[in-house]
Structures are given as structure tokens and as C-alpha cells.
Structure 1
Amino acid sequence: MASFLTRADTLASIDLNRLVSLGIKGVILDLDNTIISEDDRYLSPHAEDWIARAKDVGLQFFFLSNGKRRYRVEYWSHHLNIPAISPAKKPFPSAFHKAMKHMQLESQQVIVIGDSRHTDVLGAWLSGCRSIQVASLPHPPRWWEKLLGKYVQTPYPKKLELWDYQASNHNQN
């Protein structure tokens, strides 16, 4: 298995050719603060284009989200045509195994991409998958982030662009 933890600034900065060359065929993807900020304020730059290009080279996707607002997961699952489990109860491996079974892939063929070490990266490790931790999109800090800070997430680099996103663009029913 590859290294326990690889990092990238954003989803779009991950080299698709490198993933394919490593034998990756499936991506388990976090939603909150990876694709869209938890407060719906920012969209990760070029994330949708990166996902479309990844699908074009044959990668499969599955969302795992611990987010409490199920409508957000349903919206993005439908919008990007990616199946999802929410709540996923990461880092426990059950949802990771369900995602791999759905994609009909083994753990060595799957990479987990997310912003949190204690949920996404740990869950990948417990499931036997490789992982890439991306910088967390700016969002109001949760209590454990205030307590553990840089030990659980990498702050979004100030030098990188952010895309404003309006929550009114998607259905909140």
C-alpha cells in the first residue's frame, strides 16, 4: 500500500494521470469542506471540472458524508451523478466497504479524498485504502477543530483562489 497520508491543496490539484498509473479505479470523496464549504459559502475551485475529467478517464465516485444536512448531500449526489451515503459515520469502515462494494472494487483500487485526518484519512486507513488529504475550505470552526486545529485539518492556503457559492443555488427542501 502507498503512504498513509498524501496531501494536496485542492481537489483539482490532484494529478488524474498519477491516480490512474497507481491503479486507482474508484474515488471515495468527502463533501463538506472538500467540495463545498460546510456553510455553503465557498465551492472548491475547478472541483466539478476535475470530477468530470476523472469520470472521462474511467474513475468511479462515491460520496461519504458525515454532514447533518442530508439535503446538501442529496443535492450534490444528484448534481454530480455520484451515489452517496449520509450519514456515513466516518471513520468507521462500514460505509467505506459499502462504497467499495457498490463500485465493485477492492481497497487497493480505491483512494479516499477528504479534508479531515480523523474521519477521511483514518477511515481510509481502517478500510485498507490510500488517501489524499486536501486543505479544508474556509468554514466556521467546529468545537473539535478549535481544540485540535492543525492536527485534524490543514487550513486552506491564503494564496489560492476561492469560488463564492450561494446556497440559494440549490434546493434546501
Structure 2
Amino acid sequence: MLSKEKLYRLPRRIHTLAEIKIEKIKISGVKGIILDLDNTIISEDDRYLSPYVEDWIRQAKLAGLQFFILSNGKRRYRVKYWSHRLDIPALSPAKKPFPPAFRKAIAYMRLPAKHILVIGDSLHTDFVGALLSGCGFMQVATLPHPPRWWEKLAGKWVQIAYPSGAEIWDFDDNAGYESFL
């Protein structure tokens, strides 16, 4: 059984997915991870990829963790591309923070919500959805991207800015998207 005490030991905020210690996730009792896509794995404008993200996901899978991607992104072909590339089932548009998509991901993994960790960049979608669904939550810094109108107004309250000078990878593999249109 997963206790609040164990989940509390996980950091609530971290800069990138690759900084999250897989062993600590496992020790805390987490068996499944719901991942956000836009600005968590890949920047919304497709310019940047979170450093070492694919290796981290591969290692986490080898450690026995299950994954599911929930994305509010409107470009479904991107979600299909990343779902295929990372070999992770996905749902888009997820309409986060509303619980139905989270319930679908939880049911797919066949795990109790208390054994699932939601990792994303936004408090108003990822955290609230995790809270409403009974899952744990960890926030990563949002990858650099052109700010949307609401981010100009409230971004500093719902997102962690990506640290200036921190490692970030350019993404230039957009050619793969065409086959998912």
C-alpha cells in the first residue's frame, strides 16, 4: 500500500524528467506514470526536446514502470508520432484537468490511482487532474516555447520556468510527422 509519507519523499518540482531518480519512484510505491507531452517531453513549437528523455523512459520501463501520455495538444499527429516513437499509449485531446482521460489512463494501466504519478509542467491541468483522480504529482520545468496568451498572464503561477543556462536539446526530426497525419 502506498502511503502519503512515502509519496511525500518524492520531490514535487524538478527541472527535467531525466533528473527524476527512477529508484526513488519505485521505492515510493509508484508503478505507473501519466506523462504530459507538450513542454514536458517536447516543446509545443517542436524546437526543443527534454534532455535524455528517451533514455530515461527506456530505463524506467526496464525498471517495470508503466506509462501513458495524456495531451491537450490539438495536433493529434504529433501525439501519435510521440506515442509511436516512445512506445507509450496516448490519448489526445485529453481535456485535462477533467478526470475522464485520467480514468482511461488509470484503467489502461490496471493500477490503483494511488500507485500512479502524473508528471507534467502545468499546475492547472496536470496537477489539478492528478488531484481530482487521486494520483500523485510531480512538476517539471516547462520547456522554452512561445508563450500562449494565458501564460503571459498567469504562467509564473502555474509553471516553472526552464532554468537559463540549463542543458536543452534541439529537435530537428519534424520529417517524421508526415506519416502520422
Band of TM-score, shorter chain: over 0.9
Structure 1, unaligned runs of 5 or more: none
What is the deviation of 1:169? 3.7
What pairs up with 1:90-105 in 2 under 5 angstroms?
A: 90-105=96-111
Matched, 1:152 2:171: no
Aligned to 1:16: 22
Letter in 1 for 2:17: L
Question: Does the Cα contact within 8 Å between 1:5 and 1:121 map onto a contact in 2?
Answer: no
- Residues 128-139 of structure 1: pairs in structure 2 closer than 5 A: 128-139=134-145
- Asked whether 1:50 is paired with 2:56, we answer yes
The equivalences for 1:15-34 within 5 A come to: 15-34=21-40
Please identify which structure carries the higher helix content.
Answer: 2
TM value normalised by structure 1: 0.96
2:81 to 71, 75, 85: 75
Q: Is the 8 A contact 1:28 1:61 kept in 2?
A: yes
Letter in 2 for 1:27: I
Q: Is the 8 A contact 2:30 2:117 kept in 1?
A: yes
Whether 1:126 aligns to 2:135 is: no
3-state SS of 1:170 partner:
helix
User: 1:152: how far off?
Assistant: 1.2
What is residue 89 of structure 1 aligned with on the other side?
95
| TM-score (normalised: structure 2) | 0.92
Contact 1:41 / 1:167 at 8 angstroms: preserved in 2?
no
Give 1:36's aligned residue.
42
Contact 2:43 2:144 in 1 (8 A): yes
1 CA distance for matches of 2:53 and 2:175?
Answer: 17
What is the aligned-residue identity percentage?
61
Letter in 2 for 1:92: F
Gap runs ≥5 in structure 2: none
2:114 maps to 108
Structure 1 distance, partners of 2:103, 2:11, is 19
Q: Is the partner of 1:171 in helix, strand or coil? A: helix
Matched residue SS, 1:108: helix
Flag the structure with more relative contact order, 1 or 2, with Cα contacts below 8 A and sequence separation at least 6: 1
Aligned pairs, how many? 173
Q: Which amino acid aligns with 2:121?
A: D
Runs of 4+ in 1 over 4 A off after TM superposition: none
